[in-house]
Amino acid sequence: PGKKVLIVYAHQEPKSFNGSLLKIAVEELTKQGCSVTVSDLYTMQFEPRATRNDIVGHLHNSEAFNYGVETWEAYKRGGLSKDLVEEQKKVQEADLLIFQFPLFWFNMPAILKGWMDRVLVQGFAYDLSKVYDGGLLQDKLSLFSFTTGGGPEMYSKEGIGGDIRYVLWPMQHGIMHFCGVKVLEPHICYAPENVSEEKRKEMLAAWTQRLKTLWKEEPIDCSPEWYFK
């Protein structure tokens, strides 16, 4: 109650299963008294490309464009583009970040990857030697909630897709943990397009159920052992 949640959502269709998961999260968290903000990336036509347009005004070094250096410098002087400043404000205010998306090629869709690339700039999310447990976005939680095309048997240690945790490493450890954000257990809905309507309903009910006790959960131990044991 009173907690602030930012849901970064990457699906084109409100009637999709991802759309239903989003709706459930907004309703359930609002019901709990949380303040919920949604960044609906496709509707916003969010720009995924990291370019010179992200810097307002002059460049630090116009001889050779270095995105990392330029956004860092721009952040310090308040010269990042408006869409980035708005997303950073939402992140800053949030206690919990939920990422809702369909897994595309063992990773997040490009539009969401672009959100990570452009919003989490140096100075804002991390800094020189302020990384991992020292990252700048401490005291925040994150949760990756996604759907897959393949079933759970594919994403097992013996399956051809390997343990699903292998694909979580770059997202949870490489991005969230790097910025100091704690990570809750991922929420994975396997192959909603290939199961019965009844099973889909069960999957949606399970998400509602999980959200009811979400604030009592402990973050995972974000170490290589969790991912690769």
226 binds a copy of itself (CB under 8 A): no
CB of 39 to a copy of itself, least distance (A): 14
Burial of 104 per CB tally in 10 Å (0-12, 13-18, 19+): middle
Selected from 27, 58, 65, 92, the binder of a copy of itself by CB under 8 A is: 65
Q: Which stretch binds a copy of itself (CB under 8 A): 30-38, 101-109, 135-143, 211-219?
A: 101-109
Nearest C-alpha neighbor of 28 from the set 155, 204, 150:
204
Burial of 213 per CB tally in 10 Å (0-12, 13-18, 19+): exposed
Binding to a copy of itself (CB under 8 A): which residues in 102-161?
104-111, 113-114, 116-118, 120, 132, 149, 157, 160-161
CB of 56 to a copy of itself, least distance (A): 17
Residues that bind a copy of itself (CB under 8 A): 12-13, 15-16, 42, 45, 48-52, 63-68, 104-111, 113-114, 116-118, 120, 132, 149, 157, 160-162, 166-167, 169-171, 173-175, 178, 193, 224, 227-228
